[in-house]
């Protein structure tokens, strides 16, 4: 089970790197004035989302479920953690929707909006860490 934990940590780190970096790309994309620059951002966003974020999210969820089933389903804190992970998954797919909107040149938000949404995964990550460490209930 130790190897599953180790791989899980690697997958979580890679997934969160994407969750933090993709909205940052959106900030720069929303500020871009030249067509060539916007096209480059579209490629970067698509490759990050499809090539890194989708696979690492799937692997994170798979190894997390494996550990959950291996250790047993105990404690209300764990159910709260799963609910927060579900919010992260929803956020992930919402980012995918934004990637597709940028690809169609249908972005309707300013760079300030993307700066704010860039903070959402941090809040969820901190809440998950607190739940895991403190186990308040």
**pLDDT per position as a tens digit, 18-74:** 999 999 999 999 999 999 999 999 999 999 999 999 999 999 999 999 998 888 778
The full set of domain ranges for the chain reads: 2-134
pTM of the model: 0.95
Distance of CA 71 to the CA centre of its chain: 25
Quote the CA–CA distance of 1 and 67 in Å, as a whole number.
7
Distance CA 127, CA 2 (A): 24
HSE value, Cβ hemisphere, 13 Å, CA-based, for 77: 11
Average pLDDT along the chain = 96
């Amino acid at each position: 089970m130790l190897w599953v934990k180790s791989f899980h940590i690697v997958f979580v780190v890679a997934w969160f790197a994407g969750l933090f970096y993709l909205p940052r790309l959106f900030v720069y994309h929303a500020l871009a004035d030249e067509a060539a620059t916007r096209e480059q951002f579209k490629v970067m966003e698509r490759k990050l989302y499809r090539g890194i974020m989708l696979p690492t999210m799937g692997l994170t969820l798979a190894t997390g479920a494996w550990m959950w089933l291996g250790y047993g389903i105990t404690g209300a804190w764990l159910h709260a953690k799963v609910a927060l992970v579900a919010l992260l998954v929803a956020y992930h797919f919402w980012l995918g929707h934004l990637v597709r909107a940028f690809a169609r040149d249908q972005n309707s938000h300013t760079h300030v909006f993307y700066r704010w949404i860039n903070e959402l995964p941090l809040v969820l990550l901190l809440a998950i860490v607190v739940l895991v460490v403190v186990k308040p209930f």
